[in-house]
Structure 1
Amino acid sequence: MTSQTQYWNRLIQPGIVALVGAGGKTTVLSKLVEYGRLQGRPIVVTTTTQLYESQVAQYEPIYTKDINEVDEYCTKRIQQGYCGAWFSGITRTKVDSVDCESIDNLSTLHPNWQIVVEADGAKEKWLKAPKHTEPVIPSQTKTTIGVVNLQMLGASLDEDHVHNLELVQSIVNREEGAIVTPSMLAQIVLHKQGLFQYSKGKKVLFCTGYDTVQHRIIDDFISHVLDSDITAIVLADGYKASCEIRRIIQCR
């Protein structure tokens, strides 16, 4: 039986990893840090959008735009067995983004580090389609992990569940209130203005909420996305702290 450590280790690799989508990005980020530290892997957390300061305070971040200060601080944190964390500042309750060029530069300085970038915002909804200005993904990104919450299958297209609702409606050509089907969710994943817009590197589809939906419905959804350029599909139970990977389907 494959352990959680083995599953998560398949996602922990040197280089920049960008997290996009909705319904579990910060969960994936925290799990990559948790299992990366268990394995002694050098990991740095940052964002090209915004995160609540409370979500990242545990990582004891540095707030600066000076790459030399970042290099020194994160190197020290990693040598001490922690992850590095870096944001350009704090505005009220949120940490401020770091520009892509600076993240690329840090990756060039330390190609053996995994730099995990939360590159997309979703206002804690389960599904989104990005605006033309998002996500913001560094050019040297090795892997883009697109997150969807499978609890959207059978849920309504409405403001309670969906960020950028009108954009999602335009992709699936459905009215507000329509029930999300496997083929509709697949459209959001595969559309050129959908989940992986502007993605770089290999694509990994990370699905949370695997334990909340009938598996025959999930299998129907998977059948719609298998014949694509997605490298792997990760199916995970739960959400937030309870998230555990149950299956990884290698597609390419």
Structure 2
Amino acid sequence: MTMQAKHWSSLIQPGITAIVGAGGKTTVLAKLVEYGGLEGQPTLVTTTTKLYESQVALWNPYYGTDFNEAEEACHKAMHRGRCAAWFSGVDGTKVTSLPAKAIDEMHMVHPKWQILVEADGAKEKWLKAPKNSEPVIPTQTNTTIGVVNLQMLGTQLTPEHVHNIEEVSAIMERPEGAVVTPSMLARLVLHPQGLFQYSRGRRILFCTGYDTVQHRIIDDFLDRLADSKLAMIVLADGYKASCEIARVLRWQ
């Protein structure tokens, strides 16, 4: 097993994993599919928000709301050694969400499946804070992975890189245009209405862009998370297709 496979394996498990935040959610989801497949882990991908159809097309999704038909389609995909994907439909260029209740039901019927749920949207920005209505996380979720892009450290809070900038500014207690510091980013991670709002199960912080920021600055950020209830912190080089895990820190 390669070191990358070993690192990703620490995130792969049966049950529902919800992925929230910004700066690499869909990348993390795709990597969990890839390495889960190498381990022979049956995997189902879905969402409680919207995803671009182009991002999920390679998994040949089942579209519809009939549970029995969806279950049959998932079985067929897994029998062929592929990842299964289930969405309620297509709206323009995006696939549409499933009710959290349907995802919970699929988990209860198939507890050995890894069910990966992209649980909020960020419009491809590097950072976000959720609105009151999000994320939508199934009640049976046993892991929530929160994603942030470390490239925000030293970068100004602007709509170019930040989704829901008003919420982010309020949590960080800094105005739009302020330069993000380690303490500000840690505040977003730890705040009750921040990155892990409504999270369930163990909480894993996944940081992309590890190779783009001076490590003394990242260490300052990590020090501010020392007393958090995070189960794990993952530091990954790159962003999107180039994402590779560099370090895994087990917090608890």
Q: What TM-score, normalized to structure 2?
A: 0.99
Deviations 1:13-61 (A, max 9, x none): 0000000000000000000001011111100000000000000000000
Give me the whole-angstrom Cα distance separating, in 1, the residues matched to 2:66 and 2:248. Answer: 39
Tell me the secondary structure at the aligned position of residue 143 of structure 2. strand
SS of equivalent residue, structure 1 residue 125: coil
Letter paired with 2:40: G
CA shift for structure 1 position 175: 1.2
Q: Which residue pairs with 2:187 in the alignment? A: 187
Equivalence for 2:82? 82
For 1:211-250, what aligned pairs fall within 5 Å after superposition? 211-250=211-250
Partner of 1:129: 129
- Pairwise CA distance, 1:2: 6.5
Please give the alpha-carbon distance, in whole angstroms, between the structure 2 residues aligned to 1:92 and 1:158.
28
Matched, 1:42 2:42: yes
What is the rounded CA distance, in whole Å, between the counterparts of 1:103 and 1:116 in structure 2?
10
The aligned counterpart of 1:157 is 157
Residue 105 in structure 1 maps to residue 122 in structure 2:
no
**Which runs of structure 2 are paired with 1:11-90 in the superposition (5 Å)?**
11-90=11-90
| Partner residue in 1 for 2:171 | 171
What is the aligned length? 252
Match of 1:146 in 2: 146
**Gaps (5+ residues) in structure 2?**
none
Q: What is the Cα-based RMSD across aligned positions, in Å? A: 0.9
C-alpha separation in 1, matches of 2:172 and 2:30:
31
CA distance in 2 between partners of 1:79 and 1:192 (Å): 41
1:61-89 superposed Cα distances (whole Å, 9 cap, x missing partner): 00010110111110111111100000000
Amino acid at match of 2:169: Q
User: Normalized against structure 1, the TM-score is what?
Assistant: 0.99
Aligned partners of 1:11 and 1:75: how far apart in 2? Answer: 23
Map Cα deviations across residues 125-162 of structure 1 (whole Å, 9 max, x no partner). Answer: 00001000000000000000000000000000011110
Specify the SS of the correspondent of 2:145.
strand
SS at match of 2:137: coil
Shift in Å, 1:204: 0.1
The 1-side partners of 2:43 and 2:10 are apart by 14
The percent of aligned pairs where both chains have the same amino acid is: 65
Could you tell me which amino acid in structure 1 is paired with residue 186 of structure 2? A
In structure 2, C-alpha distance between the alignment counterparts of 1:180 and 1:212, rounded to whole Å: 15
Deviation at 1:106, TM superposition (A): 0.3
Runs of at least 5 residues in structure 1 that lack an aligned partner in the other structure: none
Could you list the structure 1 runs, at least 4 aligned residues long, displaced by more than 6 angstroms after superposition.
none
The separation in 1 between residues aligned to 2:33 and 2:52, in whole angstroms, is 17
CA distance in 2, matches of 1:116, 1:5: 18
2: distance between equivalents of 1:23 and 1:57?
Answer: 21
How far, CA to CA, are the matches of 1:115 and 1:145 in structure 2?
Answer: 13
Q: CA deviation at 1:226?
A: 2.1
Where 1:139 maps in the other structure, the secondary structure is: coil
Write the deviation string for residues 79-112 of structure 1: whole angstroms up to 9, x where unpaired. Answer: 1110000000001100000000000000001000
